[in-house]
Amino acid sequence: MSRKLPLCEGETARTACARGLLRTGVEEKTGEVLPAAVLAERVGWAVDLVSGMAADLLGAHWNTTDVDVLASGEDAGGRRLPSNAWMALRRLGWTVSPGGGVRVNDRIVRMAQETAGRTLRSSKWRADLTAAVIATWPADPAKRTPQEWDAVREAAPGGPSLPSSVITSRTRQIAAFVNKHGRMPVDGFEVEAAPRAARMLPLSACDGQQATIERADDPGRALLRVQLPSRPDPRSYAHWTWVACPIMLPPTIPASAVLHLPTLRLHQGRVRADLAYTHAVPKTRRSGHTVALGVDWGLNTLLSAEAARLHEDGAITAIGSGGMFRAAGILAKQHRLRRLSEHLHTKADHYQRLTAGAANHYLTGKLAVLAEEIRLVCERRSNLNDALAGAAARWAVDQAITAGASVIYVEDLRSMEARGMGRTINTRMSQAVRGRIVERMRHLAAETGIAVVTVPARGTSRNCPHCLAPLRHRKAPDRPTTPGWKWALCGSCGWQGDRDSGACKRIAARGLTHQSKTVVDRTSGAMTIRSVVDRLEAGAGIAPLAPKTSRDRSKTGPTRRHSACPTPRRRRTPSPTRPSGPAGQRPEGHAHTGRTRLPRAAHRHQGVTTISTPTTSRHRPRGAALGAGFHLHAHATPPRWVIPLPDVTSDTGLLS
């Protein structure tokens, strides 16, 4: 199969990843069918060999000298190091081999070197940041002066654009080391111990002598051939055999995409495959946008979106009324799971202190049960975060597609810290899945050629979206004298509205006026606007809509006589049939008459008392306390980018 992807004008190659599952395998030499459990066991033997050698490499080279040599990109002779991590480690002479008489081929060693090399390369930035913080250690670690902030930003890599929260968290880590050991650390590798090697098989470091993947006749299927050990300690190459594993490709992989060798991982006794593929997508642009979607973050209202258009004369107008993605029920459930996890961890730590590592203690069994419960709660939290990130990102991209936007401007909250809001609110905000939502948003938007750009967040909720004057924030529109933060009022132009709705317009307008300042990160390809220019910000106001003109209602003649018993409105289409019931009642409105009550999802404001669907048939709570899964806890307003069409299903006049 050809690995070259044909591209047309205006297209670019995009490499993405989808999740697959290896359900069975066939040993090619004997024709034996391997069940899922046997296949997972054989993959686990290979994973143990690779992760063991990778751990040895990390332990031997987890120091400043070796990491600097690897990150410099040159070997001792001045030659440029290859981009592949395993090739770079071999150029430097960092080799490893399994002990105990175990025999593995060269491709297994490659996977171990690739895993260790990626980890060592990624630690360079953290080590440099830690060294910069140590070199410019402030007099009071809890509060830096402006001069100390300038000093640490000058010493840190990428300091001028580095979020202050990153520097603050690294400072807290070093302060914890000082409190524990009574001295400053030498470097970042003393603060952080060598990480554990990932338990996976990166088959991308291999060639056809270890693994191959080809599409089958059916475009939704592929065949993966890989060499796996037949015993946990293979003593010769004869203990490595070829196993053919059919894979059902997810529908997200196009039929024209080029498949790459996957990464195999073990999860709950099954073998998962991270399927990498490359396909053609429209190119994204840094600038030249006329229609943009602004996205603002919230706590219970997770996302708020508003579209804006940039005209040729430089004026910016809003398109429609936007929408909101509410996830109060999901976030409340996430908060409950977090508190449960903290309680279980506290209880497990107490049992650990009581048992003191004794295997025959009577609390050892309870400690094992607690560890399993902690694992299950962590999996529930992870699955909930994944589902929430996918749903929120999909909604935001759909809003951009509906509005015809070519760019999504997202508020960048990395440089902002929550202050004075209480310990509980700060914890809930810090554990929100905003970073994962932006990552999913970039992934989904790239399929349609929509760029995702982060813009500075400071001042977006403080100033009016129309005249840029400071806003006054109140509790609610019907409580103008009660201080609050949800409702915003402008004393200059008279605008008032939801705080998040105004921030959406400000983000979209700021992005459109600053699109020439968009920069692209060379490593990740992420687009961002790092700073706000006052000259450009002065023109980032949304032009208000033209006031509605009311027709002249002055009386010019006699009033038309109306019948005492006006005939009701007539339908142009026959009324739908309704279920059997009392005769003589005409259906009302345009809703289907078979529905006797609104669905449970109609109630949007689910609080912290929201529960899941009960499994017993005796107790059936009603109202907002009843939930039926993920989607009834997430409520999104539909897009309203255009003026609603007139109702043509019935006459509005009266027949006399």
Span 508-560, pLDDT tens digits: 999 999 999 999 988 788 899 988 888 888 888 888 766 656 666 777 778 87
- Look at the pTM and tell me if it is higher than 0.85: no
Task: Say how far apart CA 122 and CA 114 lie, in whole Å.
Answer: 12
Task: Say how far apart CA 15 and CA 254 lie, in whole Å.
Answer: 12
Residues 6+ apart with CB under 8 A from 68: 124
**Is residue 184 domain-shared with residue 107, that is, in the same domain?**
yes
**Is residue 167 domain-shared with residue 211, that is, in the same domain?**
no
> Does residue 361 lie within any of the structural domains?
no
> Does residue 16 lie within any of the structural domains?
yes
Domain closes at, from 160, 191, 222 = 191
> Does residue 649 lie within any of the structural domains?
no
**Is residue 149 domain-shared with residue 238, that is, in the same domain?**
no
pLDDT category of residue 629 using cuts at 50, 70 and 90: low
What CATH number does the domain containing 513 carry? 3.30.420
Q: Tell me which of 417 and 626 has the higher pLDDT.
A: 417
pLDDT category of residue 430 using cuts at 50, 70 and 90: low
**Is residue 410 domain-shared with residue 451, that is, in the same domain?**
yes
Domain closes at, from 191, 220, 238 = 191
**Is residue 412 domain-shared with residue 510, that is, in the same domain?**
yes
- Closest CA relative to residue 340, chosen from 274, 396, 400, 384: 384
CB 410, CB 529: distance < 8 Å: no
Which two structure tokens, joined as six digits, stand for 545? 């809509």
Task: Say how far apart CA 550 and CA 321 lie, in whole Å.
Answer: 22
Least confident of 239-243, 376-380, 409-413: 409-413
What's the pLDDT score for residue 95? 92
> Does residue 81 lie within any of the structural domains?
yes
> Does residue 304 lie within any of the structural domains?
yes
Task: Say how far apart CA 338 and CA 66 lie, in whole Å.
Answer: 39
**Is residue 394 domain-shared with residue 538, that is, in the same domain?**
yes
Total domains in the fold of the chain: 3
**Is residue 121 domain-shared with residue 227, that is, in the same domain?**
no
Least confident of 91-95, 202-206, 243-247, 529-533: 529-533
**Is residue 20 domain-shared with residue 133, that is, in the same domain?**
no
> Does residue 621 lie within any of the structural domains?
no
Domain closes at, from 136, 169, 191 = 191
**Is residue 80 domain-shared with residue 176, that is, in the same domain?**
yes
> Does residue 265 lie within any of the structural domains?
yes
> Does residue 427 lie within any of the structural domains?
yes
**Is residue 394 domain-shared with residue 446, that is, in the same domain?**
yes
What one-letter code names the amino acid at 566?
Answer: P
DSSP category for residue 23? -
The residue range of the domain holding 450 is 291-327+390-543
Which two structure tokens, joined as six digits, stand for 459? 């001042």
Residues 6+ apart with CB under 8 A from 154: none
**Is residue 457 domain-shared with residue 317, that is, in the same domain?**
yes
**Is residue 447 domain-shared with residue 309, that is, in the same domain?**
yes
What's the pLDDT score for residue 622? 45
